[in-house]
Each structure stands twice: as C-alpha cells, then as structure tokens.
Amino acid sequence: MRKVFQAELQQVGDDLVEIANLVETAFDRASESLLNADIQEAEQVISDDARIDFLQNQLDERSIDLLALQGPVASDLRMIVGALRMSASLERAGDLARHLAQVTRLRYPETSVPEDLVPTFQEIIDHDKAIINNVIHLLETRELAYADEIYAAKGRINVLHESVFAHIAEADWGSDAQTTIDMTLVSRYMERFGDHGVSVARKVTYLVTGEWDSAPTASHS
C-alpha cells in the first residue's frame, strides 16, 4: 500500500512539472504574439489554456484523494498541500499568458506594443522566461539555487514594471487611451506572472527546508 502511495505522490510531482512546461510554452507563444502581432500564436495560446486547466483539476483531484484515503504523515502532507497551492499558481500563470494573447487578438492586425516600449517589455519577457524555466528546474531537482535565480529575476521585473508606469505618465507619452490601458494591463500581467513563479519557489523552499524563506511575497490573483 505504501508503494502505491509513493507512486501516486511521485505522479503529483510529475504533473506539476508537466503543467509548468505547458505554462512555459504558453508564455513563449504569448509574448511572441504580443510583440509581433502573430494572431496564430495568440489563438494557439488561448485554445491550449484548457489543457492547463484540465491538468490542474486532475492534479487537485489526485491530491485530495491522497489526503482522504492515505492519511499522509507530516512531510507527505506538506508535499500534497504544497502541490495543491503550486498547481493553482501555475494555472494562474497560464491564465496570464492567455490574457497577453487576448491583447494581441484584440489589437490585431496592429502591433500591441508601441516601439518605444518594446525594449522594456522584451527585457521583462526575458526575465519571466527565466523565471518559468527555473521553476521547472526547481520542481524537478529541488535545488534551491534555482529559487535564488527566480527571486533575482523578479526583483528586476519589479523595477521594469515601475518604469513602464513612469513612461506612460510622462508628458510626451503620445499614444491613445486604449494603448495606455493595454500597456498598463500587459505590464501588470507580466509582473504577476513573475509573482506566481516566486510563489512556487517559496513553497518548494518550504518543502525542502521546513521553513519559509525571506523572499518577496508573491501577490495573489
């Protein structure tokens, strides 16, 4: 019976990695669609989000069954409860990728991001990509050096996110109201995407050490 339980627990971990990989793909495609007005990539992200939702529900059902039927001990209990929370963070990150794709679809065939903001958003995208890649490695290995990389990338995103708002507030900002709204939302979606990476990193750190670290608190969405 214990072997079956351990196999089920391993499957929960594998499911988290699979969801994280799908989120990585979704964000890659969504950011590509956003910068290049690629409607095919945007539509793919939007339709594929259902797969992330399905896997999250499947993982949650498996985790709840383990809680109800197996009576896990303290360390396993932390793993199961942590998996439930991490799956929610990953699913929300997938939703944020979908939101980016929806901005592309709404503005198509026009490019969503004004030329003067492209370098800033490209840098935010690069850091978000690094975050989700490190999340995958962290889930696979539980090597906490990956968590440190996540926290560092998120710190830089915070600075860039603030710079977007400052740029939009400048007197010579020449874009129309709709573009201003879009860029405000896009910047927030990307910043929150990083938050969810931080949330996963903090939970894995807790599973490894039994203690909450001092990383920035992720916002909830």
Q: What is the DSSP string of the chain?
A: -HHHHHHHHHHHHHHHHHHHHHHHHHHHHHHHHHHHT-HHHHHHHHHHHHHHHHHHHHHHHHHHHHHHHH---HHHHHHHHHHHHHHHHHHHHHHHHHHHHHHHHHHTTS-SS-GGGHHHHHHHHHHHHHHHHHHHHHHHH--THHHHHHHHHHHHHHHHHHHHHHHHTSTT----HHHHHHHHHHHHHHHHHHHHHHHHHHHHHHHHHSS---PPPPP--
Average confidence (pLDDT) over 41-57: 97
What confidence score (pLDDT) does residue 4 get?
Answer: 72
Assign domain 2-209 to its CATH architecture.
Up-down Bundle (1.20)
pLDDT tens digits for range 2-44: 677 778 888 899 999 999 999 999 999 999 999 999 999 999 9
Please state the pTM of the whole predicted model.
0.92
Q: Using 50, 70 and 90 to split pLDDT, how confident is the model at 210?
A: confident
| Lowest-confidence segment of 12-21, 57-66, 207-216 by average pLDDT | 207-216
pLDDT tens digits for range 93-126: 999 999 999 999 999 999 999 999 999 999 999 9
Say whether pLDDT at 217 is over 60. Answer: no
pLDDT tens digits for range 145-192: 999 999 999 999 999 999 999 999 999 998 999 999 999 999 999 999
Domain ranges in the chain?
2-209
